[in-house]
Amino acid sequence: MNITKVITLCLFLCSTQLKGKDTVKYNVLMIIVDDLSSLVQQMDNKDLHIPHLRKLMESGRSFERAYCQAPLCNPSRTSFMTGRRPNETHIYTNDPHFRGVNKRLKTIPQHFKEQGYFTAGIGKIFHNWGQAIQGDPISWTEEEMYHWGTHSSDWYIPNRPYQMHIDIPKGPAVQCVDVVDEAYVDGRIAQAAVQKLTAWSEVPFFMAIGFWKPHLPFNAPKKYWDLYDRNQLPKLKYTEPVVDVPEIAYVDSDEARSYSDVNRHQLVPIKQKAELRHGYCAAISYLDAQIGKVLDQLEKLQLSEKTHVVFVSDHGYHAGEHGQFGKWTNFEIGTRVPLIIASPEVKNPGEPSFQVVELIDLFPTLTDLCNLPAPKLRVNLQGKSLVPYLQDSEVKGNTYAVTEIARPIGGEATFKSIGSSIRSNTHRYTFWRDRFSGEILEEEFYDLQSDPFEVVNIAQSEKDQAIKMKLQNKLLQIIECK
């Protein structure tokens, strides 16, 4: 055989192999959780019992500087599930549903469904209550389940079925009883997800699993509370609101105060703060156990090598940090979220990435990983693909993360101001502006180079004005780009 024929044969074999690789339909397993702070990504924090999440971090890429685009459920989930910032979705509060504002928005599962995937939503994927549309039917191949109800209705009541009890009033913020995992909705979600993985093991799927924890109420089964000594919980750096931070930046534990055992107006006692933080940790460990059931089934079915797994929280959470219990803040603890991607494309798994990334990056990342065309939209997706960071954890980029939230909390359509925050590799700048006039009401500026959770407000510092103005201009450029 002459050299020409040898070369021709080699080229034919290589092209055949590449073609075969391109025609593989990779699955997507997207695990979305509620109110989980970046506390779980502190690998040296041995006090937190999360063996399954640690295993996922070791088998994938953990993004240590990932940020939501809104520290509240509906605007955040709308944002990352459509790849749009709040300034484009026009969703800043928990009402309305995004379909009622912009029918042309396309979600990640909707795009996958259009490309021939079976799509399922099990649990809380979109917002769960108080909207004209329940979930998002157009996104799924089949009807959603465990996606609608109030968080307070997820409660154990003796001698009643394990279900959402929508007939009961909102009760205490904590519950510690010796029950099975399925007594609460996340146990039932894990059970349903395991069954669906088995049923869809031979078809290309996009499966979103939305666990309701560790959102209040903190009511995990007793065995998860028993994992912790209340006197040795993960430590807090700032136990009270910080001086020189504008009052508008805080929410005074408004969410926790909506439960019957937390006083609406007085300071939350130290003893109760410890109980709430204990409950938060217990809820995280309960959540971790449910995630383990799903990931174990994925491995048992030998689907791991053809499935891209995404784990993400909708936003951060104050579990005692700054003396707060709730979300709705533009601080690092309120905006920074755990994000893990485990995929056959990850090189050197277990190495974290410290690049600043945003949750709107998920849409283009998943289309790239699954070799899908970009969705046909009037305006291109606003995020960037994270595939380069999966292939090399040390890839650098000149990136920023932007987060926005409305005030007053609970104002819904009548909100009066918006807090817009930009995070660079070294600093965070936030301004609070009047919704109608655009006037800047308050400013915050933090140097995060030595401590990413630093909250010494240097907005008025003369020597830092150049950096502050650069970030202000970049922030305006991003949020005013319609």
| Separation between Cα atoms, residue 37 and residue 32, nearest integer Å | 13
Q: Phi and psi for 457 in degrees, rounded to 5? A: -75, 115
Collapsed DSSP state (helix, strand, coil) of residue 332? helix
Q: For the segment 153-207, what is each residue's pLDDT rounded down to a tens digit?
A: 999 999 999 999 999 999 999 999 999 999 999 999 999 999 999 999 999 999 9
Residue 463 to residue 467: CA distance in whole angstroms: 9
Give residue 14's pLDDT band: very low, low, confident or very high (50, 70, 90).
very low
CA distances from 26 to 201, 421, 479 (A): 12, 36, 34
In a domain, 32, yes or no: yes
Domain-located, residue 407: no
Total number of domains constituting the chain:
1
Mean pLDDT of 362-391: 93
pLDDT of 29 above 50:
yes
- Other CB atoms within 10 Å distance of the CB of residue 99: 18
Query: 4 pLDDT exceeds 80?
Result: no
pLDDT in tens, 322-371: 999 999 999 999 999 999 999 999 999 999 999 999 999 999 999 999 99
Q: How confident is the model at residue 45 (pLDDT cuts 50, 70, 90)?
A: low
pTM for the whole structure:
0.94
Q: Rounded CA gap, 230 and 272, in Å?
A: 11
Asked whether residue 343 is assigned to any structural domain, the reply reads yes
User: Which CATH number characterizes residue 94's domain?
Assistant: 3.40.720.10
CA distances from 440 to 145, 259, 417, 427, 431 (A): 43, 34, 10, 19, 6
Give residue 337's domain range: 25-396
**Distance between CA atoms of residues 382 and 391, nearest Å:** 22
419 near 475, Cβ under 8 Å? no
Tell me, yes or no, whether 426 lies in a domain.
no
Does residue 16 sit within a domain?
no
What distance in Å separates the CA atoms of residue 234 and residue 231, rounded to the nearest whole number? 9
Q: How far apart are CA 98 and CA 150, in angstroms?
A: 19
The mean pLDDT value for 401-414 works out to: 90
Length of the chain: 482
In this predicted structure, the answer to whether residue 16 has a pLDDT above a threshold of 50 is no
Closest CA to 444 of 247, 193, 154: 247
Tell me what the mean pLDDT of segment 390-411 comes to. 92
What's the number of CA atoms in the CB half-sphere (13 Å) around residue 348? 9
Answer yes or no: is 43 within a domain.
yes
Point out the residues that are catalytic.
Answer: 73, 127
Give 20-84 as a 3 state SS string: HHHHCCCEEEEEEECCCCHHHHCCCCCCCCCHHHHHHHHHCEEEEEEECCCCCHHHHHHHHHHCC
Distance in angstroms (rounded) separating the CA atoms of residues 246 and 237 = 19
CA distance 215 to 212: 6
Do the domain assignments include residue 262?
A: yes
Is 121 contained in some domain? yes
